Amino acid sequence: MKTRFIFNPCSGHNRRRPGLDRSIRDFIAARSLDAQIVTTDAPGHATELAREAAHGGCEQVVAVGGDGTMNEVAQALLHTPAALALVPCGSGNGLALHLGLPLSPLGALTLIAGAGAGGRVAALDTGAADGWPFFNAMGLGLDADVSHRFNSLVQRGLPGYVRTALAAVRQIRPERVCITSHNFRDELDVLLVAVANSDQYGNNARIAPGARVDDGLLDLVAVAPVGIIGAALLAVRLFAGTFDESPHVRRLRGRHFVIDRVAPGLIHTDGETRAAGARVEVVVHPRSLRVLVPMASRAALRPIDPAPAGFAIQLP
């Protein structure tokens, strides 16, 4: 199977694994794979390299990096026959954890090579926010502010993320938003709004427990203003899988959301921040990305129920 590895040397753990690219080359040679590895040299370069790989007939394109690298590579593979594969090397690895992918480089490479139990290709949903593709989650408010701060850190990982989030909670002001989806409309004050494709941000922090990447729907989670103690309690729920059971959390499930806020501001898509307008439109693209997953992955190839249209479920 013709495969292209796209290696981001600046991504998460790759900076602490200076020999990973060499290990991948050795693995390719030892298994006599029809594959090569190329290295990114700037933001956005992974998308260009992935597009070249897909146009060149590669059946698998492998993102070797974190969620940002995954996002860049996946953008080029939307609606193409090429399958995305992952060697997770980021701080969160949200999509990889949701799909049950191996987190060790050797385990991921073995899956990609088709050895052992092997894998299968699943068709996954993807999202777009203001036209920007996302594959795991997007967000605004506190969500985007934390991503912006976190991306500037030299030392990342879960402890750094927690410290960044607590600092941001102390400083951020709630904002008024209007959320519209099919036959639903509501105005509320929020700390953050997240729209998830998978169930989690990463590190098993489940923002949308039970969400799936193959149901044709996205899960919107809005969090009301809380203080430091309230934020700490929500953090416990985040890792306990009960986040949406909090009275401070509203959850919606649908295919299309419009989020109107008072002024333009930041959003993030898979942890990468960008400027957006006061109106943010979020839409799902069902089964638009092929991804290599383990045989036992929860991402099943199953038909999408055509019944829900826009708004499906509102949880108190």
87 neighbors 96 (Cβ within 8 angstroms) = no
242 shares its domain with 199:
yes
Residues 15-27: tens digit of each pLDDT? 556 789 999 999 9
Is residue 172 in a domain?
yes
Burial class (CB in 10 A: 0-12, 13-18, 19+), 87: buried
The answer to whether residue 307 scores a pLDDT higher than 50 is no
Domain that holds residue 219: 132-286+305-315
pLDDT value, residue 311 = 30
122 neighbors 304 (Cβ within 8 angstroms) = no
176 shares its domain with 75:
no
Q: Specify the CATH number for the domain of residue 87.
A: 3.40.50.10330
When pLDDT is cut at 50, 70 and 90, the band that residue 297 belongs to is: confident
pLDDT value, residue 231 = 87
21 shares its domain with 77:
yes
146 shares its domain with 282:
yes
When pLDDT is cut at 50, 70 and 90, the band that residue 313 belongs to is: very low
pLDDT value, residue 92 = 86
pLDDT value, residue 10 = 80
Task: Give the residue-averaged pLDDT of 71-89.
Answer: 97
Residues 45-57: tens digit of each pLDDT? 999 999 999 999 9
CA–chain centroid gap for 309, Å, is 24
Is residue 299 in a domain?
no
The residue ranking higher by pLDDT, 297 or 65, is: 65
198 shares its domain with 242:
yes
When pLDDT is cut at 50, 70 and 90, the band that residue 310 belongs to is: very low
The answer to whether residue 242 scores a pLDDT higher than 50 is yes
92 shares its domain with 161:
no
| Alpha helices by DSSP H, the chain | 20-31, 45-55, 67-77, 94-99, 105-113, 142-151, 158-171, 228-240
Indicate the range of 207-221, 248-262, 298-312 predicted with least confidence.
Answer: 298-312
Q: Specify the CATH number for the domain of residue 247.
A: 2.60.200.40
pLDDT value, residue 146 = 80
136 shares its domain with 281:
yes
Tokens of 55: 């146009």
When pLDDT is cut at 50, 70 and 90, the band that residue 296 belongs to is: confident
pLDDT value, residue 120 = 92
The answer to whether residue 214 scores a pLDDT higher than 90 is yes
Task: Give the residue-averaged pLDDT of 155-179.
Answer: 73
Is residue 98 in a domain?
yes
Collect all residues with Cβ–Cβ distance below 8 Å to 288 and sequence separation of at least 6. Answer: 78, 79, 123, 124, 125, 126
Q: How many domains does the chain have?
A: 2
143 shares its domain with 93:
no
pLDDT value, residue 153 = 55
Burial class (CB in 10 A: 0-12, 13-18, 19+), 74: buried
pTM: 0.88
CA angle, residues 6, 12, 14, in degrees to nearest 5: 55
pLDDT value, residue 172 = 77
The answer to whether residue 173 scores a pLDDT higher than 60 is yes
154 shares its domain with 7:
no
pLDDT value, residue 166 = 64
Q: Got the DSSP string for 251-284?
A: EEEESEEEEEESS-EEEEETTEEEEE-SEEEEEE
32 shares its domain with 137:
no
Percent of the chain with pLDDT over 90: 71
The answer to whether residue 298 scores a pLDDT higher than 80 is no
pLDDT value, residue 295 = 87
Task: Report which of 111, 71, 119, 121 is spatially closest to residue 87, judged by C-alpha positions.
Answer: 111
155 shares its domain with 266:
yes
CA dihedral 195, 198, 201, 206 (to 10 degrees): 100
The answer to whether residue 154 scores a pLDDT higher than 60 is no
Report long-range pairs for 264-267 (Cβ below 8 Å, ≥24 apart).
265/140, 265/141, 265/144, 266/140, 266/144, 266/145, 266/147, 266/148, 267/129, 267/130, 267/132, 267/138, 267/139, 267/140, 267/144
